[in-house]
């Protein structure tokens, strides 16, 4: 094994707008040997702020040296502070990813092996069909769900309650939005059944849109539609803990798992939820949780609390590659999320080393470190 110290020469934030809604943010860190590590910091609606935060941390990284992944993790955790919010967490998480990539490459290791013992390769996945469903019509949700099922994905996830807010749930307009969301779910379930895919998991992300009463009523509605994954019904703040715990019990009685915590920061952010027993599945995101090693610390805490850990991964290809490596070494990882056909740029912006999705799973990249490079790096930090 090669034992080389990585000394940082340059930190370059990059951004690329891939759809009217989506901008991916990356960071490229170059060491003095010219080797490069990649991270992703995509945060919807906050791309410019994340770029500013990345540039700020670039100054403190100039000349810094790292020999082991544990040193990278200590550097990151020392600066990770939940009170500073998701913008700061996204920037630090991306830097941690890129540094882990660099250190693993310098040590002559594939990133997964540098992080732990590989338990699964390929990594099984479910398809998030939401962002690519641009018309928001029930028929398009249904058609995309069947296409994902035909490609072998074990589950499909949609976020159907557009425009709903907790305050609106008890109003006529709120009920109209709830009914529209249920219609999208019903069309998706019917299409999966008609296509011979009744065995596929149907997953619904609610993006914290419900009031307490609406979240409870939704348990029966989702059970009727044979949904088996109920995600983020209520805000994950301490005043909602008792109700989330009760919702988990209700969902479990109806054959559903309650999932959430995709935007929590660091192990200290996850521990109160785990100790309170709020979820069957927690969803740390390597872009916000503090990077790779912090995500694995969260997964280890999940094991201690009898909770599954399924990384949140609905964004760009660099986050996807890092999530593959992390998911491969987690002991309690049922399925990894992946965005489904939001944009062809997902495959175009990276080189051919990013494995294709086959049979609803992905092999790990084969090269050293992350094993994936941005295809357009030669043209500089503009896209």
Tens of pLDDT, residue by residue over 133-170, are 999 999 999 999 999 999 999 999 999 999 999 999 99
Task: Using CB atoms within 10 Å of the CB of residue 352, give its burial: 0 to 12 exposed, 13 to 18 middle, 19+ buried.
Answer: exposed
CA distances from 358 to 126, 140, 252, 355 (A): 12, 23, 31, 9
pLDDT value, residue 101: 98
Give the separation between CA 153 and CA 96, rounded to whole angstroms. 30
360, two tokens: 């609803």
- 177, 222 Cβ separation under 8 angstroms: no
CB-CB neighbours of 289 under 10 Å: 33
pLDDT at 379 over 50: no
Strand partners, 13: 27
**Structure token pair of residue 192:** 């999966």
Residue 111 to residues 17, 56, 73, 291, 358: CA-CA distances in angstroms? 28, 26, 14, 13, 21
The superfamily (CATH) of domain 114-362 is Enolase-like C-terminal domain (3.20.20.120)
The CATH number, out of the four listed (3.30.390.10, 3.20.20.70, 3.40.1170.60, 3.20.20.140), of the domain defined by the range 6-109: 3.30.390.10
Kindly tell me if the per-residue pLDDT of 381 is higher than 50.
Answer: no
Question: How many other C-beta atoms are found inside a 10 Å radius of the C-beta of residue 305?
Answer: 15
pTM score above 0.85:
yes
For the residues 210-229, what does the mean pLDDT come to? 98
Distance (Å, whole) CA 30 – CA 230: 41
Element (H, E) at 23: strand 23-31
Task: Tell me the per-residue pLDDT of 88-138, one tens digit each, with 9 for 90 and over.
Answer: 999 999 999 999 999 999 999 999 999 999 999 999 999 999 999 999 999
Answer whether residue 46 shows pLDDT above 60: yes
Residue 289: pLDDT band (50, 70, 90) is very high
Contacts of residue 29, Cβ cutoff 8 Å, sequence gap at least 6: 8, 10, 11, 12, 36, 37, 38, 39, 61, 95, 98, 99, 102
Domain boundaries, the chain: 6-109, 114-362
Q: Residue 175 above 60 pLDDT?
A: yes
Burial of 1 (0-12, 13-18, 19+ CB in 10 A): exposed
């Amino acid at each position: 094994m090669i034992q080389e110290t990585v000394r940082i020469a340059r930190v370059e934030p990059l951004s690329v707008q891939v759809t009217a809604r989506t901008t991916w943010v990356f960071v490229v860190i170059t060491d003095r040997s010219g080797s490069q590590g990649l991270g992703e910091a995509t945060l919807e609606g906050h791309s410019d702020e994340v770029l500013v935060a990345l540039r700020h941390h670039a100054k403190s990284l100039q000349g810094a040296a790292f020999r082991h992944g544990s040193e990278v993790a200590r550097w990151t955790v020392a600066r990770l502070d939940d009170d500073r919010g998701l913008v700061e967490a996204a920037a630090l998480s991306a830097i941690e990813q890129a540094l882990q990539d660099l250190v693993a490459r310098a040590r002559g290791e594939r990133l997964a092996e540098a992080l732990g013992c590989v338990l699964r390769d390929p990594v099984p996945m479910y398809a998030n069909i939401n962002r690519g469903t641009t018309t928001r019509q029930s028929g398009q949700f249904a058609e995309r769900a069947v296409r994902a099922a035909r490609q072998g994905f074990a589950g499909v996830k949609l976020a159907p309650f557009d425009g709903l807010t907790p305050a609106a749930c008890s109003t006529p307009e709120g009920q109209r939005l709830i009914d529209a969301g249920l219609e999208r779910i019903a069309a998706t379930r019917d299409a999966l059944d008609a296509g011979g895919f009744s065995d596929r998991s149907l997953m619904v992300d609610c993006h914290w849109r419900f009031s307490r009463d609406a979240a409870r009523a939704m348990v029966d509605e989702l059970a009727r539609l044979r949904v088996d994954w109920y995600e983020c019904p209520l805000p994950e703040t301490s005043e909602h803990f008792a109700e989330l715990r009760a919702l988990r019990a209700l969902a479990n009685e109806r054959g559903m798992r309650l999932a959430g915590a995709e935007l929590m920061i660091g192990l200290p952010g996850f521990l109160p939820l785990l100790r309170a027993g709020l979820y069957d599945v927690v969803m740390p995101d390597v872009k916000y949780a503090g990077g790779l090693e912090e995500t694995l610390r969260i997964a280890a805490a999940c094991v201690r609390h009898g909770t599954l850990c399924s990384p949140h991964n609905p964004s760009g290809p660099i986050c996807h590659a890092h999530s593959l490596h992390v998911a491969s070494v987690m002991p309690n990882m049922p399925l990894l999320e992946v965005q489904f056909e939001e944009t062809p740029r997902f495959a175009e912006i990276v080189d051919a080393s990013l494995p294709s999705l086959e049979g609803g799973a992905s092999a790990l990249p084969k090269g050293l470190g992350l094993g994936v490079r941005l295809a357009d790096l030669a043209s500089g930090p503009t896209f």
